[in-house]
A and B are shown apart, each in its own frame.
Chain A
Amino acid sequence: MKYSDDFEKKPSEQKEEQNRVEAMLSDLDKDGINDLDQYVEDIRNREIDQTQRLSVQLKLVKDGRFAWLQKIGIILFWYLRPILYVIGEKTRSYFRFLLGVLAASWGVLVESISPITWRRTVKYEFKRSLGQVVCGGFFSTFFTATLAGLAVVSQAIFWLGAAGLTKMTGPILITILVREVAPILVGMILLGRNGILTVTECSLLAMGGQLKSLTVMGIDPFITIVLPRAWAFTIGSFTLGMIFGTTSLFMGYVVTYALGTMQDSIWTFYSNILAAMSVADYVLVPLKFIVMGFMIGVGSCITGMNVKVNDEPSTLLPKGFTRGIMLIMVVNILFTLDF
């Protein structure tokens, strides 16, 4: 048992404390309490809690010139403490999650290089997940891209034409639609349709003990579940991103052509858009989709697998969603800084 800190004071106090503790321990023995260490720890914690009361802390302030200032500080801190606690807890939680995602991402990259990783079970899960991501997200992406085409592309073409800035159509569409809007919307579709599904599946596997059963059978859940899903999300995100970009531009062109605003052929229109793209765009835009998909895949798996005993769908799914949104934003901001 650890009493050393208390016994380093005066010998009389030391003896008094020792007697008090010994008396307490003998009482506990009589009561039949076995875990004395834990019991004493609880009592100490309670005593610490009591000393942290506001009135006790104010009394402890020594008289002096700046005592009143010190007391104001203690009162302010006392009332701010719950808010600070919440802010600190959330910040630490998200930071821990981000570090966890980075660590898992590194793990996925390292394991992916090894040829023994890509066994039949991993390939099976990869194909299944890729099918879910691409086929499941295709129609959502198509309709969102159509709406984006009608709302963003056609309006941009119309108003830029009205202002006599037709030449700016390409650069503006590239900047707004391809670089910024498309990755966020595709990320949201990916997260909503497949990320949350992955969170649910992984949490059910973790809570149901199937992850442990897999390990018992010699099947590493990280290799069999996280790794293939991360890559399926990556390829799926890139595919859906390309579908989104092409469809939204096409739909925008169709509407403006039908309204008579646009006179050029579709090929000229696409050619203008491509001409407005820089070399960096050709690299960074696909990379943004790829990194975003990868992070959503890893993040969803990690959120699902790290489920706590007291987690329920009502707490876990919002957690998965907010974490996914955070990852989308982080990736988006990082790539925006690069541009």
Chain B
Amino acid sequence: MANKILLDIHQAKPSFDENYLPPVAFDLKVKAGECVIIECRDLEVATAFADLCSGMVALRDGKVLFKGLDWFDLKEPRLSALRGCIGRVFQKNGWMDMYSVAVNILLPSLHHTRIDEDKLVDQAMTLCRKFGLPGLPMDTAREATMIDLFRASCVRALLNNPDLLLLEYPAESSSAELMSPLLEMLNIAQNRGAGIICFTRQFSLWNDYKDRVTHWMRLQEKGLTSIRLG
């Protein structure tokens, strides 16, 4: 389990006209149970890189493999099914206003699995309570507060035990009281073999979790570089 490569980005050069990523080759390997913290000051670049990991960015060169499968060799419905194995915290645009937050939370799991709806609701309720929500929020995203939306996005990302977690600036979006349950849940996810990629503006925000972080990286104009923290 520990040596299984979950995400393999090999010399992936993104298509220049499609996204905010610099036109350089990216290399990254995330194994099961690893946690990668990527420092990136530019929010758009971070989102674009998370999209690259999900096979959403067209490549000029190289390849991106998730669980050994090349995103660009897959066709629907296998492509969508594979994306269903990723839990993601979006920094924006992650909520559909026509549904309640509760439906938004359950949506990916209801779509990709056949797990009984009641069981999913129970699992979501447990996670909601862990993150400080009294239950599944029945308001729409427009009516919910920012902090509750962040809690809900963590619940959605962690629901149904995804293989890879892509978290866009979770430490920046949450207060100190929320970091504790988040780190606890990340620890549990890592222990069961999930890979984690977290974007951050500064490494110091992750000091409390540094023992469990396997790679510290920086995403800049020149690409993705590995950092050794002193």
Q: How far is the CA of A95 from the CA of B59 in the complex (A)?
A: 33
Question: Does B97 touch A at the CB level, under 8 Å?
Answer: yes
Give A220 to B108 CA distance when docked, in angstroms. 11
Find B111's partner among A201, A209, A218 (CB 8 Å cutoff).
Answer: A218
Residue numbers in A under 8 Å from B98 (CB-CB): 201
Over the window 75-91 of chain B, the binary record of Cβ atoms lying under 8 Å from chain A Cβ atoms (1 yes, 0 no) is 01101111111101010
7 A-B residue contacts at CB 8 Å? A213-B94, A216-B90, A218-B81, A218-B83, A219-B108, A219-B111, A224-B111
* A152–B90 alpha-carbon span in the complex (Å): 56
Whether A218 and B88, one on each chain, are in contact in the complex, defined by CB atoms closer than 8 angstroms, is: no
Those 9 A-B pairs whose CB atoms lie nearest each other, nearest first: A218-B83, A209-B93, A218-B84, A218-B80, A121-B111, A120-B110, A217-B108, A213-B94, A219-B111
Nearest CB in chain B to that of A219: its residue: B111
By beta carbon, the residue of chain B nearest A224 is: B111
* CB of A205, distance to nearest CB on chain B (Å): 7
A201 to B140, CA, bound (A): 14
Across the interface, which residues of A come within 8 angstroms of B92, CB to CB? 209
List chain B positions with a Cβ less than 8 A from chain A.
51, 54, 56, 76-77, 79-86, 88, 90, 92-98, 103, 107-108, 110-112, 117
The distance in angstroms between the C-alpha atoms of A210 and B84, with both chains bound, is 16
Chain B residues within 8 Å of A119, by CB:
110-111
The one of B51, B79, B97, B110 that contacts A121, using a Cβ cutoff of 8 Å = B110
Take A116-B77, A120-B117, A220-B76 as given contacts and tell me if A213 and B93 are in contact as well, using a CB distance cutoff of 8 Å.
yes
**CB-CB < 8 A to A204: which residues of B?**
97
Are B80 and A219 in touch, CB under 8 angstroms? yes
Closest to B92 in A: A209
Most chain-B CB neighbours within 10 Å: which of A121, A201, A209, A218? A218
Known interface pairs A216-B51, A218-B112, A220-B76; A124-B103 also in contact (CB < 8 Å):
yes
In the complex, A52 has a CB within 8 A of chain B: no
- Chain A residues lying within 8 Å of B81, measured Cβ to Cβ, are 218
| B141 to chain A: closest residue by CB | A210
Flag A204-232 by CB within 8 Å of B: 1 or 0 each.
11001110111111111000100000000
**Chain B residues within 8 Å of A201, by CB:** 98
Q: A205 CA to B99 CA in the complex, in Å? A: 12
Task: Tell whether, in the assembled complex, residue A220 and residue B80 are in contact, meaning their CB atoms are under 8 Å apart.
Answer: yes
- Is the Cβ of B107 less than 8 Å from the Cβ of A217? yes
CB distance from B6 to the nearest CB of A (A): 16
Q: Are B111 and A215 in contact (CB under 8 A)?
A: no
Known: A116-B77, A216-B51. A124 touches B110 (CB 8 A): yes
Query: How far in angstroms is the closest Cβ of chain B from A261?
Result: 49
With the chains together, A111 CA to B49 CA distance in Å?
31
State the CA gap A124–B94 with chains docked (Å): 19
**How far, in angstroms, from A208 to B95 measured CA to CA in the complex?**
9
Complex: how many Å from CA A209 to CA B79? 20
Contact with B107, one of A205, A208, A219 (Cβ below 8 angstroms) = A219
* Residue numbers in B under 8 Å from A224 (CB-CB): 111
Give, as a whole number of angstroms, the nearest-CB distance from B155 to chain A: 14
Q: Are B88 and A217 in contact (CB under 8 A)?
A: yes
Residues 226-273 of A at the B interface (beta carbon under 8 Å): none
A166 to B85, alpha carbons, bound, how many Å? 69
Of the listed residues B56, B81, B84, B112, the one surrounded by the most CB atoms of chain A closer than 10 A to its CB is: B112
Q: Other CB < 8 Å A-B pairs besides A120-B111, A213-B94, A219-B111, 11 of them?
A: A119-B110, A119-B111, A209-B93, A210-B94, A210-B96, A210-B97, A216-B51, A216-B86, A217-B84, A217-B107, A224-B111
User: Complex: how many Å from CA A214 to CA B79?
Assistant: 13
* Set A120, A213, A218, A219: member contacting B90, Cβ < 8 A: A213
Bound: A214/B110 CA distance, A:
13
Q: Identify the closest chain A residue to B53 (Cβ).
A: A216
Shortest distance from the beta carbon of B158 to any chain A beta carbon, whole Å:
14
- Segment 256-305 of A: residues with Cβ below 8 Å from B: none
Judge whether A208 and B93 touch: CB under 8 Å: yes
A124 to B107, CA, bound (A): 10
A210 to B140, CA, bound (A): 14
Q: Least Cβ distance of A97 to chain B in Å?
A: 24
Task: Give Cα distance in the complex from A120 to B111, angstroms.
Answer: 6
- Give the distance to chain B from A209, nearest Cβ to Cβ, in Å: 4
Q: How far is the CB of A238 from chain B (nearest CB, A)?
A: 24
Within 8 A of B (CB), among A190-207: 201, 204-205
* Complex contacts, B82 vs chain A, CB 8 Å: 218
Give the docked Cα–Cα distance between A70 and B56 (Å).
55
CA of A328 to CA of B84 in the docked complex: distance in angstroms? 38
Q: Report which of B79, B86, B88, B96 forms a contact with A205, defined as CB distance below 8 A.
A: B96
Provide the residues of chain A in CB contact with B97, threshold 8 Å: 204, 210
Residues of A contacting B88 in the complex (Cβ-Cβ under 8 angstroms): 216-217
Which residues on A sit within 8 Å (CB–CB) of B110?
119-121, 124
A217 to B159, CA, bound (A): 13
Q: Is the CB of A216 within 8 A of B56?
A: yes
Q: Chain A residue with minimal CB distance to B77? A: A116
User: What CA separation (Å) do A212 and B108 show in the bound complex?
Assistant: 14
